Amino acid sequence: MASFIKPSFAVLLLSALAACGGQQQESTPAAPSETPAASAPAESSAPAPASEASAVEASAPAASEPAQSADACETTVEANDQMQYNTQEISINKACQSFTVKLKHTGSAPKTSMGHNLVITKTADIDDVAKEAMAAGPDQGYLKADDARIIAHTDMIGGGEETNLTIDPSKLADGSYSFFCTFPGHSGVMRGTINVH
Ligand code: CO
C-alpha cells in the first residue's frame, strides 16, 4: 500500500516540481530581461568615452554661460597700434539698466600719435562729429565739448591704457547707432555698429 502511496506522492512531488518549474519558467523572463541590462554595462564601456565627451560638452556651455551672464551688461573692445578695433560690432542688451563698454589700448604707441577713444552717436552723425572733434584738438581729447549728438564716449587713451563708458541702453531705442574713434584720421576705419537687442 505504501508503495502505491509513495509513487502517488512522487507524482505529486513531480507535479509540484513541475508547477514550481513552471513558475520558475514564468519568472525566468525576468532573468533574460536582466541579462540585456547586465550586458548593457559591458557594452556601455565603449559608449563610456561618449558620455565623457558629452560631459565635456556639458561643462563647456556651463563654463561659458556664467561668462555670458557676467558680460551681459558689459563688453570689452580692444584697440591697437595698427589703428584697429578688434570688433566691428558692439552688442548691447536693452534689458540692462546700464551698459559698460571697456576700451583697452593693447598697443604701446602714445595717445599723441595713436590715440584711441570710443564714441557712440547715430550712424548718420559719424562724419560731422568726427570732423568737429578733430577741430577741437588734442587738448579737448579730440571731442567737441557738450556735443548733443554724442550719446556716450570714453576718454582718449594711449598704448597700455584702459578706459570705459557707461550708457543707458534705452537711449539707443530709436535709430541706427555706431561707435568710432575721433583721433584725426581714425574714424574712417575705426568704426563699427551698435547692435541693440
Ligand atoms: Co583711434
- Find the 17 Cα to ligand 1 centroid distance in Å: 95
167, 62 Cβ separation under 8 angstroms? no
- Find the 187 Cα to ligand 1 centroid distance in Å: 7
157, 137 Cβ separation under 8 angstroms? no
158, 138 Cβ separation under 8 angstroms? no
Please state, in angstroms and rounded to a whole number, the distance separating the CA atoms of residues 41 and 106.
53
- Find the 138 Cα to ligand 1 centroid distance in Å: 12
**Cell numbers placing 175:** 535709430
Look at residue 71 in the predicted model and tell me its pLDDT.
52
- Find the 95 Cα to ligand 1 centroid distance in Å: 29
pLDDT one-digit tens code per residue, 54-99 = 444 444 444 444 444 445 899 999 999 999 999 999 999 999 999 9
pTM summary value: 0.65
pLDDT one-digit tens code per residue, 150-165 = 999 999 999 999 999 9
- Find the 85 Cα to ligand 1 centroid distance in Å: 8
What mean pLDDT do residues 6-30 have?
42
- Find the 1 Cα to ligand 1 centroid distance in Å: 118
Mean pLDDT of the chain: 77
Ligand 1 ion: Cβ-proximal residues, 5 Å cutoff = 116, 181, 183, 186, 190
- Find the 114 Cα to ligand 1 centroid distance in Å: 6
Residue with the bigger pLDDT between 18 and 180: it is 180
% of the chain beyond a pLDDT of 70: 64
- Find the 151 Cα to ligand 1 centroid distance in Å: 18
- Find the 186 Cα to ligand 1 centroid distance in Å: 5
- Find the 161 Cα to ligand 1 centroid distance in Å: 13
- Find the 184 Cα to ligand 1 centroid distance in Å: 8
Please state, in angstroms and rounded to a whole number, the distance separating the CA atoms of residues 172 and 79.
23
What mean pLDDT do residues 25-52 have?
42
pLDDT at 44 over 60: no
